Amino acid sequence: MVAENYKRILNDISDVCKNTGREPGSVRLIAVSKTKPVEDLMEAYNAGARDFGENYVQELSEKIPQMPEDVRWHMIGHLQRNKVKYLIGKVFLIHSVDSLRLAEEISKESVKAGVTTNILLEVNASGEDSKWGGSLDETIELVGKAAKLPGIAIKGLMTVAPYTENAEDNRKYFRALKQLSVDIEGRFEDNISMDALSMGMTGDYRVAIEEGATYIRVGTAIFGARDYSNN
């Protein structure tokens, strides 16, 4: 089932790209595997998945040694500063940087380890209380400060849109994130890239691709519903 699901979503990506004049290779599918056993991840891996997203540092740390070395791990969940040290040198991209203090901690630990860590800044595009990330204005301010830190490379923006039955409801938030990335690109010339836009999940990834997503983070549509009762 997982393999079929994964391939179906790759087909969707191709279709949406064809319809919107985008290169299918410009959208990368992240298989969001939180709470799922390694056997399920391997099924996706064998279907071609190399990008996996996890939300919890401990779960991520346990899965990394059990999966092939060419997996690119994405930290997409809310990250506490005291957990940063466990991720440095292990993850391909941290999507959920939502404060200067967190960026500073990633910078400090990266310099200590002699690596550069790629990050995205998380934006609360909808303004919902339950969402992490800064407002659009706060994000511009954060870019200005975080861009000066050693050991981190800002690659773009990420947002988690509200849960909705109607994906069209989220189009405005995806559009706002894209526009913010364009604004930031125009303001800051050095040191940062706004090439990556991480937006779109099971319920709304097609709309997100139409609005410029370069990473979509899909869990349920690949692995099925999550069961949190054991966590």
Ligand X SMILES: *Cc1c(COP(=O)(O)O)cnc(C)c1O
DSSP H helices, 161-212, are 171-187, 205-210
* Among the listed residues 5, 55, 99, 159, the single contact to ligand X using CB under 6 A: 55
* Among the listed residues 201, 208, 209, 213, the single contact to ligand X using CB under 6 A: 201
Query: x/- site string to ligand X, residues 90 to 119, per CB under 6 A?
Result: ------------------------------
**162-191 residues near ligand X, rule: CB under 6 A:** none
Residues 6+ apart with CB under 8 A from 218: 9, 29, 30, 31, 32, 200, 201, 202, 205
Residue 19 touches ligand X, criterion: CB under 6 A: no
Name the nearest CA neighbour of 145 among 179, 184, 186, 93: 184
Residue 76 touches ligand X, criterion: CB under 6 A: yes
Query: For residues 151 and 219, which CB has a smaller minimum distance to ligand X in the complex?
Result: 219
Count other C-beta atoms under 10 Å from residue 10's C-beta. Answer: 16
Cβ-proximal residue to ligand X, closest one: 219
Dihedral angle of Cα 12, 14, 16, 20, to the nearest 10 degrees = 180
Residue 74 touches ligand X, criterion: CB under 6 A: no
Residue 202 touches ligand X, criterion: CB under 6 A: yes
Nearest 5°: the CA angle 164, 26, 156 is 70
Q: Which residue(s) pair with 118 in the sheet?
A: 153
Question: Which part of the chain contacts ligand X (CB under 6 A), choosing from 63-71, 137-145, 175-183, 216-224?
Answer: 216-224
Q: Say if residues 223 and 40 touch (Cβ distance below 8 Å).
A: yes
Residue 156 touches ligand X, criterion: CB under 6 A: no
- How many Cα atoms are found within 13 Å in the side-chain-facing hemisphere of 58? 2
Question: Which part of the chain contacts ligand X (CB under 6 A), choosing from 1-9, 12-20, 67-75, 215-223?
Answer: 215-223
Residue 32 touches ligand X, criterion: CB under 6 A: yes
Query: For residues 116 and 127, which CB has a smaller minimum distance to ligand X in the complex?
Result: 127
How far is 226 from 231, CA to CA, in rounded Å? 11
Residue 220 touches ligand X, criterion: CB under 6 A: yes
Residue 212 touches ligand X, criterion: CB under 6 A: no
Helix (H) or strand (E) holding 201: none
Residue 136 touches ligand X, criterion: CB under 6 A: no
Query: For residues 170 and 202, which CB has a smaller minimum distance to ligand X in the complex?
Result: 202
Q: Say if residues 63 and 45 touch (Cβ distance below 8 Å).
A: no
Binding residues for ligand X, rule: CB under 6 A, are 32, 34, 55, 76-77, 160, 201-202, 217-221
